[in-house]
Amino acid sequence: MDHAETAVMQAPSRREIGAGVYSEKLGMWVFLGSEVLFFTVLIGSYIILRFGSPESFADPGKILNIPVTAVNTFLLICSSMTMVKAFACVQDGNQKGLKLFLVATVLIGATFVSVQVFEYLQLAHEGFLPSGYVDGSHFAELAAAGDLPAKVNIYGSTFFTMTGFHGFHVTMGVVCMVYVTIKAFQGKYTATDHRGVEVIGLYWHFVDLVWILLFTIVYLM
């Protein structure tokens, strides 16, 4: 390594050698590695528990509202697209587009969480909770009539824990996205330095990907 190269490396306060990726991006990838294991625990447990007592799980669509959630899934995928657009805009130096698409992402993300809250309230109202049926509820009557499984405790446990933790991750993502959006409105991101936008984007796509997995195995299978 010659002197000139060494000097260049010393000059900036952040010497990004190593992976050839700046630290925030590398850090986010590393953190997402941890998140993969976290969701693996929840999904793996779901698979084991479902194989262990298949009779405790209702057929798709019997308890969960698939159409509403399908629309919600579509929304979340759209938000991944607006995120990509926001990143493309900032790379092109299009500040207006950046702001527009970040706001759109925040709004769609918030809508997703709101629909999920609405879904939970609806399910609770009809008598489906993490602890199974509510006595005397609509679902409990259906179960007594034989239209639903007699007991759904483990179904409720896994459904609410998995989707709940995903919803928590989306909520955290929206909070961080609001922070990035505020910084975007302050003009902090430029065509050459837009680390915040890229890093939150990585997280956002990850959360989106997890949802596609969850929607498939929890709602459709």
Residues forming the site for another protein (CB under 8 A): 1-3, 5-6, 9-10, 13-19, 21-23, 26-27, 30-31, 33-35, 37-38, 40-42, 45, 48-49, 52-53, 56, 129-132, 151, 153-158, 160-161, 165, 186-188, 190
Name the E strands within 1-91. Answer: none
- What count of Cα atoms within 13 Å lies in the side-chain half-sphere of residue 88? 7
What would the two tokens of residue 206 be? 């990850």
Distance (Å, whole) CA 67 – CA 219: 10
In the complex, the smallest distance separating the C-beta of residue 120 from another protein, rounded to whole angstroms, is 12
Distance (Å, whole) CA 12 – CA 134: 62
In this complex, which beta carbon is closest to another protein, that of residue 73 or of residue 204?
A: 204
Give the 3-state secondary structure of residue 128.
strand
In this complex, which beta carbon is closest to another protein, that of residue 38 or of residue 118?
A: 38
In this complex, which beta carbon is closest to another protein, that of residue 108 or of residue 149?
A: 149
In this complex, which beta carbon is closest to another protein, that of residue 71 or of residue 125?
A: 125
In the complex, the smallest distance separating the C-beta of residue 78 from another protein, rounded to whole angstroms, is 29
Distance (Å, whole) CA 163 – CA 173: 15
In the complex, the smallest distance separating the C-beta of residue 93 from another protein, rounded to whole angstroms, is 9
